[in-house]
A and B are shown apart, each in its own frame.
Chain A
Amino acid sequence: MTETIDIHAPGVEVKKSACYFCHQNCGVLAYVLDGKVIKIEGDPQHPTNTGGLCCRGNIALQHIDHPARINHPLKRKGERGGNEWEKISWDQAISEIAERINQIKAESGAEAVATAGGTLRTEDWARRRFMNMFGSPNSFHNALLCWIPTFMVETAVSGWSPFETDLGDSRVVILWGFNPGASGMPGMHGYYDLHKAGLKVIVVDPRYSETAAHADLWLPLRPGSDTALSLALLHVVLFEQLYNQEFVANWCVGFEELWEHMKQYTPEWAAPLTWLEPDLIRQAARMYAKNTPGNIQWGCTADQLGKSSGAGMHARAILRAICGNLDCPGGDLMPGPSQNYLCDEELEANDWLPEEQKAKQIGSNKFKLTSWPGYQRISDVAKETWGKAPTAEWMCEAHGPSVFKAILTGDPYQVRALIVNATNPVNSYGDSKMTLAALKQVEFLVTCDYWMTPAALYSDYVIPIAGALERPTLHTNYGVTDSLMASQRAIQPMYERHTDYSFWRDLALATGQDADQWPWLNEEEVFYYIIYPLGLPVESYDQFVEAYRFYYPPLHFYKYGTNGFCTPSRRVELKSSILEELGYPALPTYIGPAENEEDDPAVAAEYPLVLTTGGGFMPYHHSEQFQIQSVRYLRHEPYFTINPVKAEELRIKEGDWCWIETRRGRIRQRANIEPSVDPRVIYAQRGWWYPERGAEGDEPFGCLESNVNVLSSVDDDHCDPIGGSWANRGLLCKVYKVSYWDTIDTTWSIPGSAAQPGVSVLPSESKLAYEPIPFDTSAPFELPEGLTWDYPTKLAWDIERGLAYDPESGWLYHPETYVYYDLETHYAYDPDTETLVDEEGTRYDMTTKQPIGEAQADATAVENPVGDQPDAATNKAALEQAPAKDEGEEAL
C-alpha cells in the first residue's frame, strides 16, 4: 500500500494493539509479518481515537527498534556512572538482584528497599504485590502530582472521586488547568464538537492554550492561585444562593459550618491573589452554577500547586456537590470500583503487609491522606459500601522526595536499595539536583527502562523493558472505575526484553515468594483472570480483545440513593470528618501557594516573575521521546514563553538563551516571545534532557541544564500537608540572558539558590506547611469499665453484646430495638412493669436489682413476654420516655 510495504500481502496479520506513549491508550492496528511489526495505523473502530494518532503514536515503529534502546540486561562494570556494562542473561540478572535485596532485607529490614515508578502505564498492582509480600511499604510514583491527591480528597468528601464526566448531557464544563489540545488529543476533538453543539466551556489557564482558544469564558489567573479562585467561586455560589437547596438539605452534612467559614473568601478577597476581576469570578460562578448539570474536569494543575493544593480540591469537591452535579445525568459520575471484574486492589495482596511495616512508610507521618493512615480509613469505608477499595498502589504510597531525602540523610532511616521502574526521576520528580544526588548515592540501584536514562546510568543493573506493541495492555484507569479497554500483544518482546509484569513475577520467585501466589505466567493469563467475572463467552484474553475490545457497563445514575454516599456519615461531608480525623482542617482553608508575593515579599522582590511549568506540549510526553529523531526535529530545543512587554524590558530577543532562576537553582531555555502569557508570567517547558549528549560528567545527558524540576521545591513546608504534592506552578523566578562566561550550576540543595550554595536541611528539622491540628478521638465523658469508645459513630459500645451506651442516662441500649439494658447487670428494662428482665425471663427490681417473687414474675412473663425479638414500637415509645435521649441514635 505504501511504496515499499504491502500491508495486504499474504501472511500479514492484523493485531489490535494499542499506543501507550501517554495515558489515552489509543487503539492501534499493528500489521505483523513473521513476528515483526511492519506498519501501524490508528484503529478506526477504537472508541478513544477513532483512527487518529498523534505525533507520538505515529513513531511507534521508530521506538520499537531504536538503536539506543536497551535490549539486554546490563550489569555495571567499573565505577558507577562510568557507562561500562556487561551483558548478562535475564536469569542471572534476576537472581543477582534478588540475592542482593534479600541480603539488604536481612540486614536492615524490608523497608530499606524502595521502588520508584512512573505513570499509570505499567502493571503496578504486580509491583505492589511484590512489595507487600516482600514486606516493604516504600513504593511510590509521581502519583502525587497527578490526580491521586484529588481522588483522595474528593473521596473523603463525597465518597468517590466524581471524575467521569457525562458530557453528552452536560450544559457547562470547567476545564481547570487542563489542556487537552496538547495532552489529550482525542479529548480535544470531543470538546470541540460539544462546544459547537452548545456546551459552555470555561477554561482556567494562565496561558492562552489550544483549549483556551475555544472557551466561552477564559480565566487567565495567576499561576498557582487556583485555590483562591476555587474558594471565591464557592463563595459566590453559596451567597448568591445558586446551589441546589434540595440536594444540600437531603444529602450534605456540615452546611451551616461551611456557610460561616466561607464568608471570608469573597471575590474581592481573591482578586489580588488571582489577578482576576471580581466580576469575572462572579460571571464564571454563575455560568457554572446556573447551567446544571455541569462538570468540572480534573486537570493536573490541581495536584501541582504545592502546599495550597488540598484546600482547592476540597473547595471544588464541595462546589460540585452543592450544585447537585454528583452522579446525575450530565454531571460528574462516581463509578465506584467495578463490581463486574477484578479491581487492581484485589490483586495487590495488601493484607500481606504487616501493620508495623505500614507504620514505617516514609512520609506517612506527614502527608497522611495519600499514605496508610488516610488510605486505611477511606478503604475501610469503601469496603463497607462497595465491598471493594481503591487501588493502594496509587492512593497509598511513600512520599517520593522524602525517600530520596532518606537515601541522602538516613532520616527517618537509611533506604539502601531503589528499584526504578518506568521513570526518569531526575526529570520527573521535584528538586532534580537532590534526586540526582540520591541516585548517585543509593547503595543498590536497579533501573527498568527502554533507554539509558540518568537513573539507568548510575544503576548496578539495567533491565530491558518491552514496549506497548510487545505486551498486552489493559486500561482500567488506576483500577478505580467500572469500565476497561483491552488491547493485545502485537509481537512477543524482542531481544531479551521482558514486560514489567515478568520482571516483578520473576523477582518475586527469585526472592523466595511462593509460586502459588504468582500463578499467572504472563499478562494474558492474569488479564483473563481479571475479566473472567464479566461472564463473557470467551476462552482467553486474546479472544476478548478480538470480540469485545472494551467493556463499558450501562451508566447508573444516583447510586447514592440506595446506600448513601461512601463516607462515614453516608452523606456528602462538606465538613470532612476524615480530614478532621487526620488532623487537617475539616473545611477548605486557604494557604497561599508555595511562593507568593503576599506571604514572601522579600523573595518576590528578588524573584519578581511567576513561573509555571509542568504543562504538556506536543510532541513529548513528560521526558519521553527525546531520542526519536522524527519528533525531536519538531522541537529540538527547549523554549520558555515570555510576554513581549516583559521581554523588551529585560532586553531579551526571540530565540535568546536565558537563565530561569528560582531560589533552588537555575536552568537555561530559549526565549519564545509571544503574548500568550501575562507580562508577569514565565511558562517553561517540562521534561527537557539531551540524550544525544552522552553520559560524561556530573550531569549526564544534560539532565539538569534545561530541566524545570531543578526549579521546583520539595521542602516539607512547600508540600501540600494533606496529599504531599509539591509545587510545579506559581513559583517565583527571575529571567536573564545567558552570558558568555556562565557555567552551569551543579550544586545540589534543599533549598538554596543559584547565587549561594544550598543549605542542607535534615527532613525532620523542616517544618510542615502548617502544624497538624491535634485531633482528639477519645471519649468526651468518662468511659465506664468494659466499654469501648468508637469515634466514627460517636458512641461507646459494649462490643460483646452489641449494645450502645447512653451517657446521659447511664444505660446501655440496643441500637435497633431501642431496648434499654442495665449497665452493670445487663438485664433488659421492661417499661410496662418498670422492672428488669434477664435472658431467662426472671424479673428483678429496678433499684435493688434483686429477683422479684416467682409467682408474680411468671404471670407477667406470659402476659408480656420479653424474648429475642422485643416489640420495637413499644420500646421506641419507651425510649422517648427514657430520662435522656441520645442525639446519636437518630443517625442510626
Chain B
Amino acid sequence: MTRFVMVIDQRRCIGCQSCTVACRTWNELPIDIIYNPVVSEGVLGVWPNVHQTFTPLLCMHCDNPPCTGCCPCKASQQEPDGIVWVDEKKCMGCKVCVNACPYGARDVNHKEGFVRKCNFCKDRVREGEKPYCVNTCHQKARIFGDLDDPTSEVSQLVNSLQVNTIFPELGTNPQVYYIPDLGGGNR
C-alpha cells in the first residue's frame, strides 16, 4: 500500500511564505483562497532571549477525515493512497465539509460555487513528482513521500524523531507531521 504524507521540518522553516505563493500560482487559485498559509505566534521571549517558530499549514489528509463522510454528494472523497480531494464536477458548494474540517483547510470558491482544498497536487504526484510546495521550498523544510515505504525519507523521519501532529486528540489521525523547532541552534 501507499500512504502519502508530508513531514514539515519546523527547524528549517524560515517563514518566507514561498509555498503559499507557489501553491497559488501553480494551482491558479483566486486571491481569497489559500491552501497553505504559514502562521507564527511572532517572536516570543524577552530581548535578547527570544525565539520564533513558523508553522506551515495545509490539509492534513487525515486517516480518518471528518470531511468526506459528511458530503451529501460524494464529491469530497479520499483516495486509497490517502489523498483527500474534492471532485469539482460533483460538488454543489453546500459547505458542510468546510464546517466539518477542524483545520480550516477548505474554502468555498464563491465565483464558481464549489469547495476547493489542497489535494497534494494529485496530478503531479500521480506522475511521480512531488507536490509543488515541496519543490519550491528552498529550505527543504517540506518533505513528501510514502509512509508505508520503510526506505522513504518521510518514513525514516516519522519513525526516528519526535514528531507532532495538530489536534491529535480529535481522532482524525492527521498525516502531516511536524518536526518541532526546539531552539538552541538546532544541532
- On whether the beta carbons of B135 and A41 are closer than 8 Å, the reply is yes
Per the 8 Å Cβ criterion, residues 666-705 of A in contact with B are 674-679
| Complex interface bits, A159-182 against B, C-beta within 8 A gives 1, otherwise 0 | 000000000000000000000011
Q: Is B28 an interface residue (CB 8 A)?
A: yes
- On whether the beta carbons of B138 and A54 are closer than 8 Å, the reply is yes
B157 to chain A, nearest CB (A): 14
- On whether the beta carbons of B21 and A55 are closer than 8 Å, the reply is yes
| Complex interface bits, A211-222 against B, C-beta within 8 A gives 1, otherwise 0 | 001111010100
A181 to chain B, nearest CB (A): 4
- On whether the beta carbons of B21 and A59 are closer than 8 Å, the reply is yes
- On whether the beta carbons of A49 and B52 are closer than 8 Å, the reply is no
Stretch at the interface among A1-9, A486-494, A862-870: A1-9
B181 to chain A, nearest CB (A): 8
Stretch at the interface among B11-19, B91-99, B169-177: B11-19
Q: Is A841 an interface residue (CB 8 A)?
A: no
Q: Is A781 an interface residue (CB 8 A)?
A: no
Which of A53, A62, A674, A677 is B136 in contact with, Cβ under 8 Å? A53
Per the 8 Å Cβ criterion, residues 1-31 of B in contact with A are 12, 14-18, 20-22, 24-28, 31
Per the 8 Å Cβ criterion, residues 25-74 of B in contact with A are 25-28, 31, 42-48, 50-52
Stretch at the interface among A134-142, A183-191, A325-333, A437-445: A183-191
Chain B contacts of A801 at CB under 8 A? none
- On whether the beta carbons of B18 and A189 are closer than 8 Å, the reply is no
Per the 8 Å Cβ criterion, residues 117-143 of B in contact with A are 123-124, 127, 132, 135-140
Chain B contacts of A4 at CB under 8 A? 28
Chain B contacts of A52 at CB under 8 A? 18, 135-140
Q: Is B80 an interface residue (CB 8 A)?
A: no
Q: How far is the CA of A186 from the CA of B136 in the complex (A)?
A: 11
B114 to chain A, nearest CB (A): 12
- On whether the beta carbons of A42 and B136 are closer than 8 Å, the reply is yes
Q: Is B185 an interface residue (CB 8 A)?
A: yes
- On whether the beta carbons of B138 and A186 are closer than 8 Å, the reply is yes
- On whether the beta carbons of B16 and A49 are closer than 8 Å, the reply is no
Q: Is A634 an interface residue (CB 8 A)?
A: yes
Stretch at the interface among A68-76, A586-594, A625-633, A828-836: A625-633
- On whether the beta carbons of B46 and A55 are closer than 8 Å, the reply is no
A770 to chain B, nearest CB (A): 34
Chain B contacts of A44 at CB under 8 A? 135
Q: How far is the CA of A674 from the CA of B41 in the complex (A)?
A: 10
- On whether the beta carbons of B46 and A1 are closer than 8 Å, the reply is no
Which of B123, B138, B139, B187 is A3 in contact with, Cβ under 8 Å? B123
Chain B contacts of A643 at CB under 8 A? 47
Q: How far is the CA of A679 from the CA of B47 in the complex (A)?
A: 8
Q: How far is the CA of A200 from the CA of B136 in the complex (A)?
A: 28
Chain B contacts of A39 at CB under 8 A? 26
B43 to chain A, nearest CB (A): 4
How many residue-residue contacts, CB under 8 A, span A and B?
A: 131
- On whether the beta carbons of A185 and B18 are closer than 8 Å, the reply is yes
| Complex interface bits, A268-295 against B, C-beta within 8 A gives 1, otherwise 0 | 0000000000000000000000000000
Q: Is A763 an interface residue (CB 8 A)?
A: no
Per the 8 Å Cβ criterion, residues 16-54 of A in contact with B are 39, 41-42, 44, 49, 51-54
Q: A1-B123, A630-B21, A679-B47 are in contact. Are A188 and B139 (CB under 8 A)?
A: yes
Q: How far is the CA of A450 from the CA of B20 in the complex (A)?
A: 25
- On whether the beta carbons of A55 and B16 are closer than 8 Å, the reply is yes
Q: A61-B25, A208-B52 are in contact. Are A54 and B135 (CB under 8 A)?
A: no
Q: How far is the CA of A216 from the CA of B46 in the complex (A)?
A: 19
Q: Is B160 an interface residue (CB 8 A)?
A: no
Chain B contacts of A619 at CB under 8 A? 16-17, 21
- On whether the beta carbons of B42 and A674 are closer than 8 Å, the reply is yes
Which of A42, A55, A61, A210 is B17 in contact with, Cβ under 8 Å? A55
- On whether the beta carbons of A631 and B138 are closer than 8 Å, the reply is no
Q: Is B186 an interface residue (CB 8 A)?
A: yes
Chain A contacts of B47 at CB under 8 A? 208, 643, 645, 675-679
Q: A188-B138, A208-B43 are in contact. Are A1 and B52 (CB under 8 A)?
A: no
Q: A52-B138, A676-B43, A676-B50 are in contact. Are A2 and B28 (CB under 8 A)?
A: yes
Per the 8 Å Cβ criterion, residues 535-553 of A in contact with B are none
A489 to chain B, nearest CB (A): 21
Chain B contacts of A631 at CB under 8 A? 21
| Complex interface bits, B153-187 against A, C-beta within 8 A gives 1, otherwise 0 | 00000000000000000000000000000000111
Chain B contacts of A210 at CB under 8 A? 14-16
Q: How far is the CA of A57 from the CA of B46 in the complex (A)?
A: 35
Chain B contacts of A51 at CB under 8 A? 135-136
Q: How far is the CA of A189 from the CA of B137 in the complex (A)?
A: 10
Chain B contacts of A58 at CB under 8 A? 18, 21-22, 25-26, 136
- On whether the beta carbons of A195 and B136 are closer than 8 Å, the reply is no
Q: A58-B21, A629-B31, A631-B21 are in contact. Are A185 and B43 (CB under 8 A)?
A: no
Q: How far is the CA of A55 from the CA of B36 in the complex (A)?
A: 13
| Complex interface bits, A763-797 against B, C-beta within 8 A gives 1, otherwise 0 | 00000000000000000000000000000000000
Chain B contacts of A14 at CB under 8 A? none
- On whether the beta carbons of B27 and A3 are closer than 8 Å, the reply is yes
Which of B22, B51, B127, B187 is A53 in contact with, Cβ under 8 Å? B22
Q: How far is the CA of A674 from the CA of B51 in the complex (A)?
A: 11
Per the 8 Å Cβ criterion, residues 636-651 of A in contact with B are 643, 645
Chain B contacts of A629 at CB under 8 A? 31
Chain A contacts of B127 at CB under 8 A? 1
Chain A contacts of B12 at CB under 8 A? 189, 192
Chain B contacts of A54 at CB under 8 A? 16, 18, 21, 136, 138
| Complex interface bits, B82-101 against A, C-beta within 8 A gives 1, otherwise 0 | 00000000000000000000
Q: How far is the CA of A224 from the CA of B185 in the complex (A)?
A: 26
- On whether the beta carbons of A678 and B16 are closer than 8 Å, the reply is no
- On whether the beta carbons of A216 and B138 are closer than 8 Å, the reply is no
| Complex interface bits, A343-367 against B, C-beta within 8 A gives 1, otherwise 0 | 0000000000000000000000000
Chain A contacts of B24 at CB under 8 A? 630
Q: A42-B136, A53-B22, A195-B185 are in contact. Are A675 and B123 (CB under 8 A)?
A: no
A180 to chain B, nearest CB (A): 9
Q: A2-B27, A3-B123, A630-B25 are in contact. Are A220 and B18 (CB under 8 A)?
A: no
Q: How far is the CA of A388 from the CA of B52 in the complex (A)?
A: 48
Chain B contacts of A1 at CB under 8 A? 123-124, 127
Q: A188-B14, A618-B16 are in contact. Are A208 and B185 (CB under 8 A)?
A: no
Q: How far is the CA of A634 from the CA of B12 in the complex (A)?
A: 20
- On whether the beta carbons of B138 and A49 are closer than 8 Å, the reply is yes
Q: A54-B138, A188-B138, A643-B47 are in contact. Are A214 and B52 (CB under 8 A)?
A: no
* 6 sampled A-B residue pairs with Cβ under 8 A: A1-B123, A55-B20, A185-B138, A189-B139, A208-B43, A675-B46
The 7 closest A-B pairs by CB, nearest first: A52-B138, A185-B138, A55-B21, A676-B43, A210-B14, A674-B43, A54-B18
14 further interface pairs, Cβ-Cβ under 8 Å (given A52-B18, A674-B42): A1-B124, A3-B123, A4-B28, A53-B22, A54-B21, A54-B138, A55-B16, A55-B21, A57-B18, A59-B21, A215-B185, A634-B20, A675-B43, A676-B50
| Chain A interface residues (CB < 8 Å from chain B) | 1-4, 39, 41-42, 44, 49, 51-55, 57-59, 61-62, 181-182, 185-186, 188-189, 192, 195-196, 201, 208, 210, 213-216, 218, 220, 618-619, 629-631, 633-634, 643, 645, 674-679
| Chain B interface residues (CB < 8 Å from chain A) | 12, 14-18, 20-22, 24-28, 31, 42-48, 50-52, 123-124, 127, 132, 135-140, 185-187
